[in-house]
Structure formats: C-alpha cells, structure tokens
Amino acid sequence: MMEKELYHAKEDPYFAKPFVDIEENREWSMADGRTLPYHYCHGGFEGTNVKFSFCFPMKEQFRGRFFQYLSPFPGPDEEMASFDKTGEDDKIGFALTNGAYFVESNMGSSAMFGASSNPQMVFKSSAAVAEYSREKAMDYYGCTRPFGYVHGGSGGGYKTMACIENTDAWDGAVPYVIGSPASLPNTITMHVQGERALRNVFPQIIDALDAGGSGDMYEGLNADEAAMLKELTAMGFPPMAWFPEAWGYVDPGSLPVLTPGVKATDPSYFEEFWTKPGHLGTQEGSSAIRDRLVFEGVVKSVHMPGDDAGKETEQIDGRNGVDDAWKKMLADGNGYWIELEEVPQGDDLYLEGVNISFLTGDAAGGGALLLDDIKGNYLTIGACYGLDDLSGVMSKVKPGDKLRLDNSDYIAIQSYYRHQVPPDKSFHAWDQFRDENGEPALPQRKVFMGYGFTGTGTVQDGNIQGKVIQIQALMDESTCPWCADWYRKKVIESKGSEKDYRTYYMERCMHGDVNALESHMNTNYVGALHQALLDVSDWVERGIEPLPSSNYTYDDGQILVPDTAKERGGVQPVVTFLANGSTCAHVKAGEPVEFTVKALMPENAGGITGMAIDFVTTKEFPNPTAFGTDYPFESMEEDGLSGAIAKASYTYDEPGTYFAAVRVKGNRHGDAQELFTQIRNLARVRIIVE
C-alpha cells in the first residue's frame, strides 16, 4: 500500500476565518407537493474567494452524514447553483430526504479549471468547506463528527477524485462519468472530428447498429469514412452514441471553451496542421482539406437585437450539470446577424466553428462566431467564448466593412488527439498511433496537455482515502467508458486491491446527469447515482458491502458487458424486448404484432418497479416525455433473480419501418414510490410493415 502526504484542511491557516452571512430556517418544496423544513447557512472564508451554502435537515431527520456536490465548472455563485433543481434532479431534496445535509461551494474560483495560481485550490477549498460544515453541524445537532461523501461528474469527477485521493475530509466518494488524465481536450476534439467527417453517414451507421439492423456499421461507407469510424471507435467512442447526430442533433460539447486554452498553450500547432507532413491538413484528398473554408466578404447590413441584449441579470445561473456547466462561459450571440454582399457557395459546406474576423472599419481586430449556418446571404452570430463585450464589437460593424470567415482552427483542433499520444502506455486507445516499438507514429506536440486539463493541480493516482463507487455510462459521448476501467486499475495498482472500490457500467446512458436526458434510444443514470450515494454511506457507516462491480471486458477501445443480468451484475435491470419472437418482425399492414418483455435485476439489486412501452417511437432528442404511460407487468423470478414480464399486441395500419421501445425501472427495495432511486434501462425492436 502506497503512503502519501494528505492535505488537512483544518490545519491550513488560509481557511482559518470562516464566516456566515445568512443563517435561518427555511422550507424546501418537493416535486410531490411536500415541504421539508431545513436550516440554511451561507458564508465563506475571510480573505478568500470561497463561498459555500449548507442545507441542514431538522434534527429529528438527521442521520449523521452530508453529501457534497462538485460542479464541473466553478463559478462565482456556484454555491447556489443547485437551488433551482426539481424532481429527480433535486440534489438538495435528495439529501434532506435521506437524512443528510447538503454542501456546495464555488470552490474559490469564478472561472473554469480554477483561475488561481494554485489550481489545488479546488480540492483544498472543498475540504475546508467540508470541515467547517462539520463544525456547524456538530454545533447545530450536538452530534459527533458527521460522515461526509463527495460526488461530481465529468469535470466534477476529476475534482471528486482529487478530493478523495489527496485529503482526509471525506469518508467516501461517488465520481461519475469520469475522464482519465489523457481525456481532455482529446475526447472532445475527436467527438467533433467525427461529427464533421461522418456527418453524411450517421443515419446508416445507426440503422446498422439498431435493433434488427445488419450489425455492420461500415457497410456503405467510403474508405475515408470507414477509416475515421474505425479510428474513433478504437479511441473509445461508443458507436451507438452517434444516434443524436443521426437524428439531426449536432453539439460540439465544451470544445468552444477548451479551444482557446489549447491555442494559447500551443499556438504553432494550428499552423503546422496545415503545413507539416503527418497531419490531416497536409494529406492530399483528406476531409480536413475538403472541409476547410477561408472566405473574405463585404458587409451589406447589420442587425442588432434590442437594448436589453447582453445585459446581466441578478438571477443565479443554475447550469451546474456535466453537460451544461461550461455553457455559462459563453457570450450569447442570439439576435445578431450580418448580411453580406456575397457568401461562400457549395453543396456540402462545413460551417461549424467558423470564426468571423473583422478586417476593416471600427470593428477591425474584433471577431465573433458563426452560429451554424448561412441562410441566404445572412450570417447569424453564435455563442462566443471569451467575448465579454460582444455587443460592443457588433455595434462597430458597418456596411462596407470587410470580414473573413475561417474554420481552419476548428478543423485543426479536431485532430489534436492524434498528436497527443500519452507517454503512459496504459492508455491503450492510442495504440493505433504507436509503431511496433510503442513509439508515436505521427508528429507529436512538445507538451502533453491532458494532465493540465483536469483543473485540480493533480493527476489521479488511484490512492483513494475512503470508499468509492464509480458510475460510468456506456453510451457516453463526452467521456470514453474505458476511463472507469483505467481508474479501477489505478486503484488496484495503488491500494493493492479493490476492496474499497466499485464500478457500475450503465447501459443506454449518455454523459448528462439530468433526468430529462431521455429519448426512445437512451435513458439516464440519475437513479443509479443516487443509489450509489446511499450505498457508499451504508458501506462506511454500517459496513454493508455494496453490490459487486459490473462484469465487463475491454476490446479495442470498447467496454463490452454480458447480455444477461446474471452475468453482468451491477445495479441496472437488463431488458429483453421481442416482436413476434424477434428483434425484427416482418408483417403485413393490419396484422397484429405480438410483443414480449422480460426484465431481470442483477442479484440482490432489487425488483422491477415500472415498465412503459411506446409502439411508435420518435427521433426527438432529448425527449423527457417519452414513455409517458406505464404498462402493466407481472413480477416473476428466474434463476434466483427478481424480474418482470409483460405481453402486448399492436397493429400497424400503414406500410413502413417502425421501431418500438420499452423502458424499465428497478429499485433496490422494489418500491415504485421512491422518487430518487429508480434505475432505468431500455430496449428496442424493429417492425417492417408491408
């Protein structure tokens, strides 16, 4: 077992002067109409930027614990960001309901990655907040030291791992949808590379992988498209996670926020990509060259929004989830547009990430970002990172001014992962870019950037200082599922075993940590996340071992789980859905289709609590109203596992290809009324009607 020097927040004089500026009794409103009284505290530490909020349940409800949430991107008012959450996403309601007080802070920073000369401020300030919350709790409740559990996902996952590895402030942790030290900016850049290079073939890729498909996702792709799909799959991108793009939803994720940091650190890359051999920008016939756009035009007219555009409001920005926290760093360009005398022409223009640079006039030297398209001769302005005075720039643009449209940097950064092969060969996703001696086969940047992008001033080493349960999504479009396997191995390497660690892989789940992230193709892991927090607290406080980790294998960048609940284990129900006994039924119009559903919970994971079937699905993403009606089912047991079965009949009157989907919920106690801990999964079938 490795020994390491831990940070003890109570011994740090920097946090010696806490203060409370608000302390009062309040009521918390729950989604079911209940109100929960709680004791509220808000404050900070003198001489620092750290602010915090504590929500204490009443004394008769308190069970001696707290849950502390770490947002992916700290902000000036982040200690208040969870106060607008409702329903299953209600972090404060979840804590109060389960006898825990809730802790949140701004981690001492008002900018991404901790804008501090000491990036370790993130975990040090979080630890200081945790320890001071204990002082307040012991005074308020008259109790002994409360147990503490820290949790966060994505960027908050890095922070959670830093906290549980480097301090003694918490007894357990639940990091979720985590990245590895090599993930950023690489995972984000390769995702957008795929969105560009595969943009014309996503529907056929997903059709092949969907229920009743051919299974050959390369069928019909040209050589460049097939090579890119193979490369990104080997890097760890789950192929089924391309379904939003297949349905017409394209999102660059946090790349607009990450790009300026890469460019500031490694500016020469953006020139060398287009000029030096070994880069896609110099490879004859590459899609990078085909998609590059450099165009100079002349302004014909400018439209400005109303006087209120761009003004700040007093409302707290509650975007603190893994999918939306970074968006607080963008200046909203909605309402601005520019008409040009002439615009670029082409049948398949790539208009993502187009920088608008003003070359002449009062706005010369300023810039903006194209939203996503050119409509007629009009440029719409998109959300821009780092433009504090977008309205000031736009107000200077006049007819006759010259500007340049250029997506060169945006295309270049998409290949950055190819030139960031980690020195640590345990990152096997990059083996495809290594030669027979294990050395990089492509030109590499002088600095490997990933380690500095965790935003914590540390690199996770697996030396956990408490019990840890890890939740990872198998359809994660922003963080490769293999990152949890990598971290699991670091824990074993560091601690000598995984007796204090569990990892659960969640099928049909994407990156986002909100209950609304549902559709007829995916569900969410919010219920599993809450259950993990309860399980880690039972593990610490009562010695109750959590369920074993999910069983899985790693193969060429992909995490593969067994098909059955018995073999897979973990916490999530496994669903079998058939139409006329198959995943693809062929029928005539007007002929009834017989559907069967069987769902099984892993051993000791609870019982099935809900089932919903939609016989005609939509391609809407996200679609929180999907599966709006419960369907009756019969509980059963099979091979020692708790489960449920259902039968249904449906008739399709018109010819065509249809998909039906079923979503199943399970709960540890078989209780359908437990709001926060319903664990979901889904399955689909294809029906071809002649």
Token couple for 419: 């030139």
Q: Which residues of 606-631 are buried (b: 16+ CB within 10 A; e: fewer)?
A: bbbbbbbbbbebebebbbeebbeeeb
| CATH T-level topology, domain 573-689 | Immunoglobulin-like (2.60.40)
The tens digit of pLDDT for each residue in 169-211 reads 999 999 999 999 999 899 999 999 999 999 999 999 999 999 9
Q: Are 525 and 336 in contact (CB under 8 A)?
A: no
Tell me the angle at which helices 186-197 and 255-265 cross, rounded to the nearest 10 degrees.
Answer: 120
Pick the residue with more confidence: 567 or 117?
567
Percentages (nearest 5) of helix, strand, coil residues in the chain: 25, 25, 45
Neighbouring C-beta atoms of residue 99, cutoff 10 Å: 15
What does the alpha-carbon distance between residue 671 and residue 665 come to, in Å, rounded to a whole number? 10
Task: Return phi, psi of residue 362, to 5°.
Answer: -65, -25
Say yes or no to pLDDT of 45 above 50: yes
Every domain of the chain and the residues it spans = 11-178+454-542, 186-284+414-450, 293-406, 573-689
Say yes or no to pLDDT of 281 above 90: yes
What does the alpha-carbon distance between residue 101 and residue 478 come to, in Å, rounded to a whole number? 31
Q: What percent of the chain has pLDDT over 70?
A: 93
What does the alpha-carbon distance between residue 637 and residue 598 come to, in Å, rounded to a whole number? 11
pLDDT given at position 329: 41
Q: Are 648 and 595 in contact (CB under 8 A)?
A: yes
What does the alpha-carbon distance between residue 297 and residue 287 come to, in Å, rounded to a whole number? 24
Say yes or no to pLDDT of 328 above 50: no
CA atoms within 13 A on the CB side of 263: 17
Instruction: Give the pLDDT mean for 536-554.
Output: 98
Residue 486, C-beta contacts closer than 8 angstroms, at least 6 positions apart: 180, 426, 427
- 390 — pLDDT class (breaks 50, 70, 90): confident
Q: Rounded to a whole number, what is the largest CA-CA distance in the chain?
A: 77
Q: Are 508 and 491 in contact (CB under 8 A)?
A: no
What does the alpha-carbon distance between residue 687 and residue 615 come to, in Å, rounded to a whole number? 10
Residues 132, 133, 136, 137: what is their CA dihedral angle, to the nearest 10 degrees?
A: -140
- 75 — pLDDT class (breaks 50, 70, 90): confident
Say yes or no to pLDDT of 327 above 60: no
Please give the mean pLDDT across all residues of the chain.
93
Q: Could you list the beta-strand ranges (E) of 467-618.
A: 467-473, 501-506, 553-555, 558-560, 574-579, 584-587, 592-600, 607-614
The answer, as to whether pTM is greater than 0.85, is: yes
Say yes or no to pLDDT of 311 above 90: no
Q: Could you list the beta-strand ranges (E) of 495-546.
A: 501-506
- 260 — pLDDT class (breaks 50, 70, 90): confident
Token couple for 526: 């919010």
The tens digit of pLDDT for each residue in 391-415 reads 788 889 999 999 999 999 999 999 9
Q: Does domain 293-406 have CATH number 2.40.30?
A: yes
What string of DSSP letters covers 608-625? EEEEEEESS----SS-TT
- Three-state SS string across 217-259, please? CCCCCCHHHHHHHHHHHHHCCCHHHHHHHHCCCCCCCCHHHHH
pLDDT given at position 337: 87
Whether a cis peptide bond, with omega within 30° of 0, leads into 239 is: no
Q: Are 653 and 589 in contact (CB under 8 A)?
A: yes
Q: For residue 311, give Cα distances in angstroms to 10, 135, 314, 338, 601.
A: 41, 40, 10, 21, 51
Domains 11-178+454-542 and 573-689 share a fold: no
Token couple for 96: 């109060």
Superfamily of domain 11-178+454-542: Alpha/Beta hydrolase fold, catalytic domain (3.40.50.1820)
- Check the CA dihedral 493-499-500-505 and report its sign: positive
Using alpha carbons, select from 206, 202, 200, 207 the residue that is nearest to residue 688. 207
Instruction: Give the pLDDT mean for 357-384.
Output: 86
